[in-house]
Amino acid sequence: MKFTDGFWHVRPGVDAQYAQEAYDIEVADGRRLVVSAPTKVIERRGDTLNRALLTVTLSSPLDGIIGVRIENHRGDSPHRGFDLVGAEGGGTTATATTDDDGGTLVAGPLTARIPHGAPWNLSFEADGRTLTSSGHKSVGRMGLAPDAPVTTEPVGVAGVAPTGRAPSSSCLHAQLSLGVGELVYGLGERFGPLVKNGQTVDIWNADGGTSSEQSYKNVPFYLTNRGYGVLVNHPEHVSFEVGSESVERVQFSVPGGARVLRDLRADAGGHPRAQHAPDRSPRAGARLVLRPVAVHDSTDEVVTALTSVFPSTREFNLI
């Protein structure tokens, strides 16, 4: 789903509130970073009024994987995403630290860095290079007016959410950067080009025929030729804009009810060396039990996203 009108404007009826700065960064349990991310740079008390505050929590279920949970409100019942085999055992040696510059979470070969202040920037690094990052206007809550030209539900259920309620009046979205020449693969059984750059992909199982943009077997997971993968750990509708709303970013969005907890959990990681794949893939992704998206009975739950690390696509002869 697209929210913008070109690069400079949002669409009519869209109230975009983006994380603007890391106002406060705290270490929790020695292994988590908790960041207060207001949607306006706080210079005076009045800047705290009538604006959303996002709470961003960085954690690590396994070495080589970093989780990023983005919350707008709390209080809804917990949402259980896909089962990640091995993650329940807490097999991580992650350490979280803060200093005058910002916060750092190290999980094995993967490091997440977030600087204090504005502009908002969260980067993921491995082997001394940046794999991907979430920069300015990459994380936000999108409020939608009834007449906003944004389709928040799949075509087959347009005008009504799977719960039988009216379509959502808000969404949570996040974006991860794409590098020059970076190619995106995956997202399940699809009948279009193998390289997903430039495509809009709705994760929603449907019997649309084998020559359509719809898919029988959607998988909310993509990987790139820079050596990392992204799994959106949400068994309902997820909309991907792969370099299609912003040519230098992959965007994933999830609709949420007006009074519901907006929670986006993204576990992101990457290591370009293929020898790490046999260890991470089976535990963090290859044995996922996927529940059918189309028959899940509720979107009014915690929304989660998980990013995990897989080997370079060169090892699979994709490029």
The per-residue pLDDT for range 39-49, each reduced to its tens digit, is 999 999 988 88
Residue 119 preceded by cis peptide, ω within 30 = yes
Domains delineated in the chain: 4-316 (2.60.40.1760)
Q: Is the pLDDT of residue 311 over 50?
A: no
Q: Is the pLDDT of residue 203 over 70?
A: yes
Distance (Å, whole) CA 294 – CA 153:
11
Question: Residue 105: how many CB atoms within 10 A of its CB?
Answer: 24
Using left for φ > 0, alpha for ψ between -120 and 50, and beta otherwise, residue 156 falls in alpha
Tens-digit pLDDT profile for residues 251-302: 998 886 432 223 334 444 444 443 444 345 444 443 333 332 222 222 222 2
The token pair that represents 114 in the structure block? 């977030």
pTM for this model (two decimals): 0.79
Contact indicator for 66, 59 with CB cutoff of 8 Å: yes
> What is the pLDDT, as a whole number, of residue 152?
78
Q: Is the pLDDT of residue 58 over 80?
A: yes
> What is the pLDDT, as a whole number, of residue 9?
93
| Beta strand 24-28 pairing with 9-10 | unpaired
pLDDT band at 303, cuts 50/70/90? very low
Size of the chain, expressed as the number of residues it contains: 319
Query: What is the DSSP code (8-state) at residue 77?
Result: P
Spatial neighbors of 256 by CB under 8 A, at least 6 apart, are 168, 170, 171, 172, 262, 299, 300, 303
First and final CA of the chain: distance in angstroms?
A: 28
Contact indicator for 112, 132 with CB cutoff of 8 Å: no
pLDDT band at 147, cuts 50/70/90? confident
Spatial neighbors of 183 by CB under 8 A, at least 6 apart, are 195, 197, 224, 225, 313, 318, 319
Q: What is the mean pLDDT of residues 10-28?
A: 93
Q: Distance from CA of residue 112 to its chain's centroid?
A: 15
Q: Per residue in 248-267, is it b (16+ CB within 10 Å) or e — as a string?
A: ebbbbbbbbbeebbbbbbbb
Distance (Å, whole) CA 215 – CA 196:
14
Tens-digit pLDDT profile for residues 152-185: 777 666 555 555 445 567 888 899 999 999 999 9
